[in-house]
Structure 1
Amino acid sequence: MQDITTVAIAQTEIISAIDTVWVSICAAIIFLMEGGFALLEAGFVRAKNAMSIIAKVIIDITFGGVAFYAVGFGIAYGASNGWFAFDTGITDADLGLGLTVSNKLFWFIQLGFAIAAISIVSGAVAERMKVWAYAIFVILFCAVLYPLVANWVWNPNGWLAVKGFNDFAGSAAVHAMGGFAALAAAIVLGARIGKYDQNGKPVAIPGHNLPLAAVGGFILWFGWFGFNPGSTLGAVGNWELIGSVATNTFLASAAGGISTIVYTYFKYGQIDVTMTINGVLAGLVAVTAGCNVVEPGSAIIIGLIAGVLVDVAVIFIDKMQIDDPVGAIAVHGVNGFFGTIAVGLFAAESGLFFGGGTDLLITQATGVFVIGIFSFAVTFIILTILKKTIGIRVDRSEETAGIDAASFGVEAYTTFE
């Protein structure tokens, strides 16, 4: 009996060790995605505001990370009443997730999800938002707003989790959450000076370094292979699932790039490379919810739709005079919404197109509608209050001269004699 017990303990320790290595690697890859956000967004804005983007992403990680540690994680994964939890901080208690890694390591991988969600907003408010007002919003977002949605979706007692809502790695909880917050932020903040002419027609404001933006896109693309496969939260016993998730993630992203290339070529007479970057990201966003339950063929279809949808959404948002310098709303908000609903259509066996009826589709639609409305409404209220109190937008002279020199005393590119 003692030998059997010893062997069982040893097996448990081996499983935990393997899973800890797997989750640690994926968490580190997810953390690297912040470098992707920084480069992508910096490349898509003007040179005079590049460092302000870097500052905002650093604020996402530092202020947001500590807020999520101190308050947010407990709200997300503590003992939930279905809508929120009262716990704060990280405990050693069983979270009911069947984890084979420590709660602290689970917190670290979840940190990557939280700061990815807020980093979506940083791009939409680029070139015109005050840094301290942004920092306040980051703290509130990572301490309360995102954790509430994570509670609904991923806490075992969350109201959406109980309903069978499938958002494997966050099309709704991360991307739609961040995208609809970005939409509210862009509306409250207003457009950049010169973005629209006197007739309300959009005026192009090109990014200053598109190769830099492309590198950022590639880093995000790489990071998604920690983001989605890492959501298995363990390697032992999950090798088939990890393989399926990784395959679906790639196929959807590649299909997103293909459809954007073809669509922009026939629409504009030439391939729009900048839109193609966002097309790849749109495919990634869209498949993130269902990468665990769709077949590879379905992943390709989801990506193809996302790659066209992102361009259509960017043009529509621009016509509505909502200024989003990097296309964050279209990539993350619109395609996070679409990808979540796509699970109800394409999930093998349980999706509408595979004979599963409408139950899952209704659950998916309900969940992403509530998440989108919640994120938009609360962000709109918070930023409106900040706007009327401390102010959220830099003054006109600072915006014209560039935030980098005015607010940070440094420029991205200096002249050498």
Structure 2
Amino acid sequence: MDQVETAQKIAELQNLIEMSGTINMEVFYWWCTGLMVIIHAGFLAYEMGASRLKNALASGVKNILAFAFNIPTFFFFGWWIYLAMYNGFTPDFEAGAAGLPWSSNMGPNLADNASGIFWGAFVLFAATTASIFSGAVIERIRMSSFIILAIILGSVVWILAASWGWHPQGWLTVDWGFHDFGAAGAVHMVAGFFALGVTINLGARIGRFAPDGTPLPITGHSVPMSIIGLMLIIVGFFGFLGGCIIYTTGGQWTTIFGTPTTLSSISFNTLMAFSGGIIGSYVITRQPFWMMSGALAGIFSAAPGLDLYYPPLAFLMGITGGIVAPLADKFLTNKFKIDDAVGAFAVHGVGGLIGIVGLGIFSGFPNVIEGAPAISFMGQLKSALVMASLGFIPGFGLSYVMSKMGALRVPPKAEEAGLDLVEVPLAAYPESVPATSQDPSTTSTNGSTVTV
């Protein structure tokens, strides 16, 4: 074999290796996206279980529709926002061109194995923000207003936050050294503060507070369903965190910021934070609902530094989130009469805030972006304020307008009757349906036949 043939064989082998790496990258994000769908199965069960029987299916339908509406809207304009708006409110039209609906990147293209798979992961992040918001407003929000708010949150607000602080050239990172591996800011803080803004204008459910302001418990019809749903969210969160890592053919894993990491480090710290959150909430509440919600808060409280922390530190951050989240929810309920039905703000908003600011306390880690400052307390604190504002202001402002228009909340009669009755033509638990076939003129009562 002469030198020319040898060179050709080497080039062919190199192409095969590169294509194999490209396919492996696609497969990795394909299954991350599939796991992230489990998050929505979890939210579905979680919120239906947390609703009273008369509202169970309506709460589930909200989640299904938020998922469905965010996919096309994220295709038509959400992905463009991420690619174009990293500098602030001034778009980079050249960078955003790849995200335009008619771009060759936004459809079948044998020369592009990356755009669709990354878009798929990001659209699941978008749907997650909508599902976080959904739980806070169950049992009294109009379906139409919820869908509009969910689209704004998932396909505009969260992805703008991601472009600013979860993009390799985002201005928060370039100017302030912001670091947030697990999207505690862009997803969880933004969704939590958006939910808080809407909940203020939506008001409490009928019967949630006594005339003197004393909180009265409203228990969902199936606590076991909610607990199982929360566990499913945690299972899906491993796909979520996988989507936070960049697969590089022939190289080490990196974060979305370009800093090197490993799946091993993420495994250590995620599991330690998860367990810490459970323990923290158990110590404070002894309630299984809050134990599993605390597990989520624990992960969010460590999420910004999952690629950096020593595992005992991730465990400490998890315990902190698990303790603070139920206390924050209790404080908001008692002091400000906020009716957040599932504690979404406390778990996601406060948990994410602990995570962002906490990484600033344990700061000093370098930033690989050329010229960007190192991770610092002030950089993380200022970035957290941006994320909180970016969630709260549109959530409060849009819901305020809807409330003044009488379009935000269902009428009291509909709320008292139950949203399943007025919005879902199906019974959640149709106990009246006979278990066995029988003559239509009779009904079965304790095994006996009775003439109608």
TM-score where L is the length of structure 2 = 0.84
Q: CA deviation at 1:372?
A: 0.4
Name which of 384, 402, 405 aligns with 1:386.
Answer: 402
Match of residue 89 from structure 1: 100
Separation (CA, whole Å) in 2 of partners of 1:316 and 1:92: 51
1:126 aligns with 2:138: yes
Q: 1:226 to 1:250 in 2, by over 3 A?
A: same
How far, CA to CA, are the matches of 1:81 and 1:350 in structure 2?
A: 22
CA spacing shift, 1:79–1:331, aligned 2, 3 Å:
closer
Query: Displacement of 1:53 after TM fit?
Result: 1.2
Partner of 2:293: 278
Distance, in Å, in 2 between the alignment partners of 1:215 and 1:80 is 38
Quote the Cα distance in structure 2 between the aligned partners of 1:272 and 1:235.
Answer: 43
**In 2: Cα distance, 1:254 partner to 1:10 partner:** 43
Which residue pairs with 2:243 in the alignment? 230
Q: Write the distance in 2 (CA, Å) between the matches of 1:395 and 1:253.
A: 40
CA contact (8 A) 1:295 1:347 kept: no
Report whether the alignment pairs 1:46 with 2:52.
yes
| Aligned with 1:245 (options 259, 263, 266) | 266
Structure 2 SS opposite 1:380:
helix
Which one is further off, 70-79 or 198-207? 70-79
What are the residue-to-residue correspondences of 1:101-120 with 2, within 5 Å? 101-120=113-132
Asked if residue 396 in structure 1 is aligned to residue 409 in structure 2, the reply is no
Q: Relative to structure 1, is the Cα distance of residues 169 and 359 closer, same or farther in structure 2, using a 3 angstrom cutoff?
A: closer
- In the other structure, the counterpart of 1:343 is 359
The alpha-carbon deviation at position 392 of structure 1 amounts to: 0.8
Contact between 1:340 and 1:368, CA under 8 Å: does it hold in 2?
A: yes
Name the residue aligned to 1:354: none
Q: Which amino acid aligns with 1:233?
A: I
Residues 45-67 of structure 1: CA deviation (Å, up to 9, x unaligned):
21111111111111111111111
Residue by residue over 1:272-302, the C-alpha shift from the partner in whole angstroms, topping out at 9 and shown as x without a partner, is: 1111121111112222222111111111010
Output the CA distance in 1 between the equivalents of 2:74 and 2:66.
Answer: 11
Q: Is the 8 A contact 2:191 2:349 kept in 1?
A: yes
* Structure-1 separation of matches of 2:309 and 2:100: 35
Larger helix percent: 1
- Distance verdict in 2 for CA 1:183–1:209, change over 3 Å: same
Aligned amino acid, residue 330 of structure 2:
I
Q: Does 1:331 align with 2:347?
A: yes
Q: Aligned residue for 1:311?
A: 326
Equivalent residue, structure 1, for 2:258: none
CA contact (8 A) 1:256 1:283 kept: yes
2:212 paired residue number = 199
Q: Establish whether residue 262 from structure 1 lines up as the match of residue 283 from structure 2.
A: yes
Are 2:161 and 1:149 equivalent residues in the alignment? Answer: yes
Q: Which amino acid aligns with 2:43?
A: F
Q: Identity over the aligned pairs, expressed in percent? A: 31
Q: Is the contact made by 2:179 and 2:375 (CA closer than 8 Å) also made in structure 1? A: no
Residue 219 (1) aligns with residue 235 (2): no
Q: Contact (CA 8 Å) 1:59, 1:138: kept in 2 or not?
A: no
Structure 1: gaps (5+ residues): 95-99, 265-270, 352-356
CA shift in 2, pair 1:347/1:235, >3 Å:
farther
For the residues of structure 2 that align with 1:309 and 1:101, how far apart are their CA atoms?
43
1:79 and 1:221 map into 2 onto residues whose CA distance is 31
How big is the shift at 1:8? 2.5
Aligned-residue offset at 1:92: 5.4
- Paired position in structure 1 for 2:25: 19
For residue 29 of structure 1, report the CA deviation from its aligned partner.
0.3
1:167-193 CA distance string (max 9 Å, x none): 112100000000000100110100000
1:63 aligns with 2:74: no
1:137 has 2:137 as partner: no
Instruction: Write the distance in 2 (CA, Å) between the matches of 1:219 and 1:125.
Output: 21
Change (3 A) 1:348 1:255: farther
Is 1:172–2:190 an aligned residue pair?
no
Question: What is the DSSP-based 3-state SS (H/G/I as helix, E as strand, rest coil) of the residue aligned with 2:244?
Answer: helix
Contact kept, 8 Å, 2:301 with 2:320, in 1: the verdict is: no
Larger Rg: 2
Query: Which of 369-378 and 338-347 deviates more?
Result: 338-347
